[in-house]
A = this chain, B = another copy of it.
Amino acid sequence: MNIGPYSVEDYMHLVKSFHGNIAPGIIIGGFMVDLAVKSLPEGILFDAVCETSACLPDAVQLLTPCTIGNGCLKVVEFGRYALCLYDKYQGHGIRVLVDTEKLEQWPEIKTWFLKLKPIKEQDSKILRDGIINAGLDILSIQYVKVKNMLIGKTGNGAIALCPECNEAYPIKDGHVCLSCQGNNPYYRDSQAQNDMPSLNIFTIVKS
């Protein structure tokens, strides 16, 4: 059984190097992406949406041309382990999900997927082998058309300098950038540098 152009073993090596660990979800994710790709008409230009940020986006990024940074992969945080690959222009697509009814045949996977036991009480080897043996058997597909909000790229439009932070930002966001509108995720003060005593100052760009 293959996952995309890879043997399962090669896919797991790839996952290890990109994702950092061979989590159960990303193995299932490999089968999900593979199924979606093979179910689309050949040669179609597709975008992708993942319904969770957990693991699944990395399977998409490893097995398709869609990445977060190139705008072809979007993530909507529904906490559902499902993804959809869809015609970039028309929106017709294939949604693949883990089918909880089908999990009845795979009790170890069901226990892990629905968090029926603490992860420490589960046997990771049995779980991984089960996922590989199950392959496509725990998945279902749906034919969907994505809504317009997922079709096409929405550029940022014209750029201005934010009068508060002096950084470039999209004018469409308002008179100041979104960060300066109260969303700044950082504290910034002169003490911060002292909090990093081993900071390698030789690499700092001179102001």
Q: Which residues of A does B touch, CB under 8 Å?
A: 18-21, 26, 29, 35, 38-42, 49, 51, 53-59, 61, 65, 67-72, 75-82, 84, 90, 92, 95, 97-98, 100-101, 113-115, 136-137, 139-147, 149-150, 156, 158-159, 161, 165-170, 173, 177-179, 183, 185-188, 192-193, 195-200, 203-205, 207
One complex includes copies of this chain to the number of 2
- Which B residues touch A146, using CB under 8 A? 185-187
- Which B residues touch A204, using CB under 8 A? 39, 141
Q: Contact check, A92 vs B143: say whether CB atoms are below 8 A apart.
A: no
The residue from B144, B183, B186, B205 contacting A137, defined by CB atoms under 8 A apart:
B205
Distance (Å) between the CB of A166 and the closest chain B CB?
7
